[in-house]
Structure 1
Amino acid sequence: MGLIDENTSGVFVISVTPFDEQGAIDWQSLDRVTDFYFEAGADGLTILGMMGEAPKMTQSEALEISRRVIARAGNRPVVVGVSAPGLAALRELSMAAMDMGAAGVMVAPPGSLQTDTQIHGYYGQVVKTLGPDIPVVLQDFPLATKVVISDEVLARIINDFPSIKMLKHEDWPGLQKITKIRQAEAAGQRRISILCGNGGGFLAEEMARGADGAMTGFGYPEMMVQIARLMTAGEKDRAHDLFDAYLPLIRYESQPGLGLAVRKHVLARRGAIASPALRAPGSGLTAAAAAEVDYLISRQERRLKELG
C-alpha cells in the first residue's frame, strides 16, 4: 500500500464504525462497509475519525479496527485517525498503524490550543514525535475542535513541517482558504494535497477552487465520487445537477449532533451495516426523523432516475 503525498487526490471516505445494539463492534459489518465504500468508487478510506466515533474506542479496539480495515482494503490506501490528548498515545497508535500498512495518519488539534503560537508549536511537536517518514493529514475542523487555524499559521505549518502532506479542509466558510493556499503555491509555497469534508456539502465549489477531492462521509458515497470525477473532467453543470438531487439529504445529514445517526440509518437501510446503532453516549433517530429521511431518499431516487 502506497503512502499519501502532496499530490494525493480523489475520494477518501470517512468510515463509520458499526456497532450492535449492545454497543459492541460489529466486525462483520466493518468488513461489509469497507467493501461497500470501495464498491462505490472510493479511492481510499479514513478510519477512526470523528464520525467513526474514535473517542469512544479503547486503544486496543482502535488497533484491531486499523488491522482489520487495512487488511480488507488490500493495496488501497487507508488513513488512520490518531488524534489523542497526549502525544504518547498518538505516537503508539501511529507507529502501529504504519507498521500494519496505513497510508498516513490524521491529526486534529486539541481544543486546548488558543493562540497561533500554540497551534504551530503543537504540529511541530507532532511531526517531531512521529519522525519525518510518516505522512500526516492536518484536520482543520474548527466547528468541532473549536481551534481556528488562520491562513497565516496554516502557511507557516505547511512551510515548516514537510511531513504534513495533506489538509483535511473543513473550515466553514472556507473556500477562500483553499484559494489562498493555491495562490501561495503559485508564488513558491510547498504544495499540499487538499481533501475536503463537511459531508461533501461544498464539494463542487471546493474543487473549483483547487481542492483535490473529498475526505468525508455521506450515506451515498458514490455521490462524492461522481462529483469529484465530473469536476475533474470539467463537467461543471452535470456535477451540479447531480449534486442537486442529493442536496435535501445532504442538508438533513448536516444537522449538528444528528448527522451520524442519519448516516448510519441510511447505511443500514442500504445493507452496508447491520444496525444503525451508535455507541453510548449517542442515540439513533426517532421514528419521526427516520420517516423524514426515508421520504427524502424516495424523492432522491426518483430524481436520479430522471437525470439518468
Structure 2
Amino acid sequence: MEQLRGTGVALVTPFKKDESIDWNALERVIDHVIAGGVDYVVSLGTTGETPTLSAEEKLDIMKFTFEKVAKRVPVVVGIGDYNTRDVVKRLETCPLDEAVAILSVAPYYSKPSQEGIFQHYKAVAAASPKPVILYNVPGRTGRNMTAQTTLRLAHEVENIVAMKEASGDMVQCMQIIRDKPKDFIVVSGDDALAMPQIATGMDGLISVAANYFAKDTADMVHAALQNDFPTARTLHYKLQEAFDLMFEENNPAGVKAFLQEAGLIENVFRLPVVPVSAGLQARIAAFVKSFK
C-alpha cells in the first residue's frame, strides 16, 4: 500500500444553485488537484457531503471520478456508516474494481464500545474486495477509536492495511506509530497537524485543504516525508492561516468558500450545511487575494 503514502485529497462535491451535482465543477476540481501534485484522491469522504447524497448519487460520483481521474492517480472510495450490515451490503455490490482501497469511517452516532468498533471493522474487512483504511474522527463520530483498538485491528485483521487518524491526540498517534505492524500505513486526517505528525512517523495526509492548495499541501507533505523539515515548516506556516480560516465554522463550508474564490465551484450546499458567514467569507477572500 505504498501508493497511500504522500498526499491524498478528500474531494468536495460541487452543487449547482438548484442543489443538483455540478459535474463540470467536479471535473475541474479533479484536474486542479492532480495538476497540483497530489498522490491520490478520495471520493465520497465526509468532505464530499456524503450524508446528503442518495445511494444513486454516490454511485454516479464514484463512477464519474474513476472516469475523469482516468488512472492518473489512484482513487480511494469512502464507504462507511453506523449500520454495519449496510456497509457490508454496499461493499458486496459496489463496482470497486478501479479503487485501490476503501476508506471506512468508524461507526458514528451509536457510540459503540471499543469491542463494537473492533467487530464492525472486522465485518467490513471480511466483506471488502479491496484493502480497508480505518478512519478515526471522534469530532464527527462521537467516539474515539483508541490506540489499543487500532493496533488490535492492524495486527489481527489482514485486509486492514492503513489508518487515517484525525483524533488530534498526538500521544495516541505516537502510540499507534510505535506499535503498528511494519507495513501498516498511518496518515494524518488533520491538515494543520500533518507536518508534525509526519515528523513522528506518519506516512502522509488525506487533506481537505488540498482541494484548493493542492501544490503547497503536496509539497509540504513530500518535503516532510523526505526529512526536509526546513522546507516543510516554511510551507506549513505559509498555510497555517488558511487552515484556521478553512475550519473555523464548518468543513466543507470553509473549503468551498476558498474554491468559490478560485472560480472552481459555486458556493452551494445541501442542508443542514450552509455557507460560511459573510464576515468569514470576506476574510477568506482577502486571504486569497494576498496569498502568494
TM-score (norm 2): 0.92
1: CA distance between counterparts of 2:2 and 2:238?
32
Contact 1:168 1:196 (C-alpha < 8 Å) held by counterparts:
yes
Counterpart secondary structure, 2:252? helix
Alpha-carbon deviations, 1:52-79, whole Å to 9, x = none? Answer: 1001110000000000001111122111
1: CA distance between counterparts of 2:246 and 2:82?
28
Question: 2:146 is matched with which residue: 147, 150, 155?
Answer: 150
1: CA distance between counterparts of 2:228 and 2:186?
20
Aligned sequence identity (%): 21
1: CA distance between counterparts of 2:2 and 2:289?
40
Question: 1:201 is matched with which residue: 182, 186, 192?
Answer: 192
Structure 1 residues 57, 235: closer, same or farther in 2, change over 3 A?
same
Question: 1:276 is matched with which residue: 257, 261, 267?
Answer: 267
Stretches of structure 2 that go unaligned for 5 or more consecutive residues are: none
Aligned twin of 2:16: 20
Is 1:178 aligned to 2:170, yes or no?
no
Contact 2:91 2:127 (C-alpha < 8 Å) held by counterparts:
no
Q: What is the number of residues matched between the two proteins? A: 288
1: CA distance between counterparts of 2:59 and 2:3?
28
Task: Quote how far apart the aligned CAs of 1:232 are.
Answer: 2.1
Aligned twin of 2:124: 126
Task: Quote how far apart the aligned CAs of 1:265 are.
Answer: 1.5
2: CA distance between counterparts of 1:169 and 1:119?
15
Q: CA RMSD in A?
A: 1.8
Contact 1:98 1:104 (C-alpha < 8 Å) held by counterparts:
no
Runs of 4+ that moved beyond 4 A:
95-98
Counterpart secondary structure, 1:13? strand
Aligned twin of 1:260: 252
2: CA distance between counterparts of 1:203 and 1:209?
10
Task: Quote how far apart the aligned CAs of 1:299 are.
Answer: 3.5
Task: Give the residue type in structure 1 aligned to 2:40.
Answer: G
Counterpart secondary structure, 2:4? coil
1: CA distance between counterparts of 2:42 and 2:106?
17
TM-score (norm 1): 0.88
Aligned twin of 1:106: 103
Task: Quote how far apart the aligned CAs of 1:6 are.
Answer: 6.1
Question: 1:235 is matched with which residue: 207, 228, 232?
Answer: 228
Contact 2:27 2:68 (C-alpha < 8 Å) held by counterparts:
yes
Question: Which aligned pairs between 1:49-198 and structure 2 lie closer than 5 A?
Answer: 49-75=45-71, 76-111=73-108, 112-130=110-128, 133-173=129-169, 175-185=170-180, 189-198=181-190
2: CA distance between counterparts of 1:96 and 1:26?
26
Contact 1:143 1:172 (C-alpha < 8 Å) held by counterparts:
no
Structure 1 residues 41, 114: closer, same or farther in 2, change over 3 A?
same
Alpha-carbon deviations, 1:254-302, whole Å to 9, x = none? Answer: 22x42322211211221322x011122221133322111112223432x
Stretches of structure 1 that go unaligned for 5 or more consecutive residues are: 302-308
2: CA distance between counterparts of 1:169 and 1:40?
24
Counterpart secondary structure, 1:45? strand
Alpha-carbon deviations, 1:167-218, whole Å to 9, x = none? Answer: 0110112x22332223224xxx3531112112x1011101101111111211
Task: Quote how far apart the aligned CAs of 1:93 are.
Answer: 3.5
2: CA distance between counterparts of 1:97 and 1:208?
37
Contact 1:18 1:30 (C-alpha < 8 Å) held by counterparts:
yes
2: CA distance between counterparts of 1:120 and 1:146?
16
